[in-house]
């Protein structure tokens, strides 16, 4: 007897189980480990491993991960509905009545709540599959985060296969040509042409005629937030505000009544020159009860891989506007940069930023 045709994924461990109960009373004389090229399509060398071989009574609780739709990458702050399909390969039925659920390993996950119940009050018997569907919400900042899931009978034990994935969180770069970046509005009108040492800003009348073309040494579009969220990805705890501003009538406001750690609103990519001096300035109104609020930069290479987490621009006095400045020398492999408005260190309360500039020196 054998486990029949299998088409398991390569380069990872898989668990194979064979039900021996139909052969009760018989004797196993030998165990063969073989490779069968089912479609006769493979060429070259083949290497495989096996480990932890056992013949034992069927486990009361056992599970096999059949499939999943967890993405390999997400945009910061975005949400994605995913599914994980699991097969019951143990003797016991699964149900919410027996507290069998899909659980986040170590009881916590950076993307979703830690438990998901069997849907529709169903009972999952041996050989049946169940699909858990839930929402994943990406962290608000770039990075690589691990999400891992396994079946659990709460209060008893974890069991069966585990799925573990690394998910890359990164902003989508805007279209670029050489060292120039271009941004457009919903009418496909050019708004900004970004260069490594200056920016061209365009304005239009109500019927779409260009009425203004302005050259600026501030490389950051919408630096005073007068154009709403344009050119920015906002943290869930930050928003455009008209309550308090330093320049114009708008600013970006952070507000939270509960401690917040490591959240940021990030600009889109700005092209910069490697090994070159720039200056970041920001007007900040810090009225936090605790924690920190600042503006900084993050540098990337031409593959959009993070190169350097830049120094922060803070202001000391609270309850009033102050200007923070930090000098930057980009790294030798830096080709683009983002500006970030950051709340960190268990920040509670409110704070504002406005009139931010990034200028080549």
Rounded Cα distance between 175 and 304, Å, is: 13
pLDDT surpassing 80 at residue 353: yes
The DSSP-derived string for 223-283 is: TTSTTTTTTEE--TTEEEESSS-SSTT-EEEEEEEEEE-SEEEEE--EE--TT-EEEEEEE
Rounded Cα distance between 352 and 252, Å, is: 6
Q: Pick from 341, 346, 354, 165: which is nearest to 267 by CA?
A: 341
Radius of gyration of the chain (CA): 28
232-233 vs 263-267, strand pairing mode: antiparallel
pLDDT given for residue 42 in this prediction: 59
pLDDT given for residue 203 in this prediction: 92
pLDDT surpassing 60 at residue 6: no
Domains of the chain: 60-169 (2.60.40.10), 225-360 (2.60.120.260)
The stretch 203-229 carries a mean pLDDT of: 93
pLDDT band at 25 (very low <50, low <70, confident <90, very high): confident
pLDDT surpassing 80 at residue 109: yes
pTM beyond 0.75, yes or no? no
pLDDT given for residue 9 in this prediction: 60
The stretch 37-66 carries a mean pLDDT of: 72
> Which range has the worst mean pLDDT, 31-35, 70-74, 77-81, 227-231?
31-35
Residues 6+ apart with CB under 8 A from 297: 280, 310, 328, 337, 338, 339, 340, 358
> Which range has the worst mean pLDDT, 210-214, 259-263, 343-347?
259-263
pLDDT given for residue 166 in this prediction: 86
pLDDT surpassing 90 at residue 21: no
pLDDT given for residue 73 in this prediction: 84
Q: Is the dihedral of CA 307, 268, 142, 312 positive or negative?
A: positive
Query: Mean pLDDT in the chain?
Result: 88
Q: What percent of the chain has pLDDT over 70?
A: 87
Q: What percent of the chain has pLDDT over 90?
A: 62
pLDDT surpassing 70 at residue 159: yes
pLDDT surpassing 70 at residue 58: no
Strand partners, 349: 256, 288
Question: 221: which DSSP letter?
Answer: T
pLDDT digits (tens, 9 = 90+) for 280-302: 999 999 999 999 999 999 999 88
pLDDT surpassing 70 at residue 174: no
């Amino acid at each position: 007897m054998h486990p029949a045709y299998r088409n398991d994924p390569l380069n990872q461990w898989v668990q194979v189980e064979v039900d021996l109960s139909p052969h009760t009373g018989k004797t196993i004389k030998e165990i063969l480990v073989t490779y069968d090229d089912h479609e006769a399509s493979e060429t070259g060398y083949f290497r495989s491993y096996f480990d932890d071989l056992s013949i034992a009574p069927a486990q009361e609780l056992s599970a096999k991960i059949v499939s999943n739709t967890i993405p390999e990458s997400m945009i910061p702050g975005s949400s994605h509905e995913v599914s994980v399909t699991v097969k019951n390969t143990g003797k016991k039925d699964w149900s919410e009545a027996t507290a069998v659920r899909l659980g986040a390993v170590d009881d916590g996950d950076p993307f979703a709540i830690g438990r998901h119940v069997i849907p529709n009050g169903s009972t999952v018997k041996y050989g049946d599959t169940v699909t858990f569907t839930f929402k994943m919400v990406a962290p608000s900042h770039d990075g690589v985060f691990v999400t891992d899931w396994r079946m659990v009978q709460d209060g008893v034990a974890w069991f069966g296969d585990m799925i573990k994935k690394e998910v890359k969180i990164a902003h989508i770069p805007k279209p670029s040509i050489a060292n120039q970046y271009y941004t457009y509005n919903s009418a496909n009108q050019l708004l900004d042409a970004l260069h490594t040492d200056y920016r061209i800003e365009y304005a239009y009348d109500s019927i779409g005629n260009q009425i203004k073309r302005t050259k600026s040494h501030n490389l950051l579009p919408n630096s005073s937030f007068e154009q709403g969220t344009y050119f920015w990805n906002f943290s869930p705890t930050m928003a455009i505000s008209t309550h308090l501003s330093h320049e114009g009538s708008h600013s970006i406001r952070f507000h939270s009544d509960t401690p917040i750690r490591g959240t940021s609103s990030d600009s889109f990519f700005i092209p910069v020159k490697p090994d070159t001096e720039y200056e970041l300035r920001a007007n900040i109104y810090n009225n936090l009860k605790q924690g920190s609020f600042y503006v900084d930069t993050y540098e990337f290479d031409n593959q959009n891989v993070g190169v350097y987490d830049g120094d922060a621009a803070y202001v000391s006095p609270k309850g009033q506007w102050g200007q923070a400045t930090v000098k930057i020398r980009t790294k030798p492999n830096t080709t683009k940069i983002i500006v970030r408005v950051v709340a960190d260190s268990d920040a509670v309360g409110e704070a504002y930023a406005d009139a931010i500039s990034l200028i080549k020196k």
